[in-house]
Structures are given as C-alpha cells and as structure tokens.
Amino acid sequence: STLNDLILCKDEGFGKVQNIVELAQSVLANTSTNGHSKIVTEMEELQNHWSQLVAKLGESRVAVDDSISKWSGFLDSVNQLKLTVQNMEKIFNAVSPTQSQSNEKRAQIDKLRNLDEKIRVEKIEVENLKLKANQMLSSGQQNKSALQAQEVLAQF
C-alpha cells in the first residue's frame, strides 16, 4: 500500500522537479555567468536523482508483484494439496475395511494400488512445497501462511 502511494505521488513529484527546473531557468537569467555552471550542475543532479528514484520505485513494484504472485501461487498449491489429502483420506477410509470375497479383495487391492500411485505422484509436489515453506519461514515472510502450509504438508 505504501509503495502504491509512492507510485501515485510520482507524477506530483515529477511536476515539482519540473517546477524547480523552471525556477532555476529564471535564476540563471538573473545570475552572472560565473554561477551558471553550478546551477546547471545542481539541476542535472536533481533530475538524475529523480530519474533514479523513479526507476528504483518501478523495480520495487515489479519485485513486490513477483513476490505476491509467487506466494499466492504457493498458497493455491497448498490449498489444492489439502483438498487432495482429504480426497485420499476418503478413498482410503472407503477401501480400508477388509473384504471377505476374493473378487472384492482384488478390487480393494486395485483401489489401494491406485491410491498409492496418486500418493507417489503428489510426493514430488509436496517436496517442492516443503522447500518453499521452509524458504518462507527462513526469510521471515508470511510466517503464518508458512506454518499453515507445513501443517498441511505434515498431514500428507
């Protein structure tokens, strides 16, 4: 929000810099030639500093947008994994009672194998999510989200 406020003030700041440059032109007209170089140098430095500030502001906004996108994607993945874990638990609970008939046992084994395969596929994604959660915790960013993610990952 502060970054957005600064970006919104960028045009106002540019107007102020331009106003100062115009005032400097008036001062130049009333200054001896000995002082012209100092005034021109100061105005060039002011404009360069302003340009650098605006460039850094733009870079900061891109970095913040990238971070937001990265972490929101992470949280979406964690929420998707949570649903997957819940679905796997439902499937396991439905299949877990031991069947008495041989054909029922084969069907049960097939369902358990399919579930095992799904778990193996998800395990790769879980490892990536664990790394990202640890990265979030170590960087101090979004600790609450990272802790929630670790709870879901531990459940898996």
User: In this predicted model, what pLDDT tens digit does every residue of 28-44 receive, in sequence order?
Assistant: 888 888 889 999 999 99
Contact 133, 149 (CB under 8 A): yes
Q: Which two tokens stand for residue 132?
A: 């990202």
Question: Exposed (0-12), middle (13-18) or buried (19+): which is 129, by Cβ within 10 Å?
Answer: buried
The residue to which tokens 């021109």 are assigned: 40
pLDDT of amino acid 47: 92
pLDDT of amino acid 142: 60
The per-residue pLDDT for range 132-156, each reduced to its tens digit, is 877 777 776 666 666 777 777 777 6
The per-residue pLDDT for range 101-129, each reduced to its tens digit, is 888 888 888 888 888 888 888 888 888 88
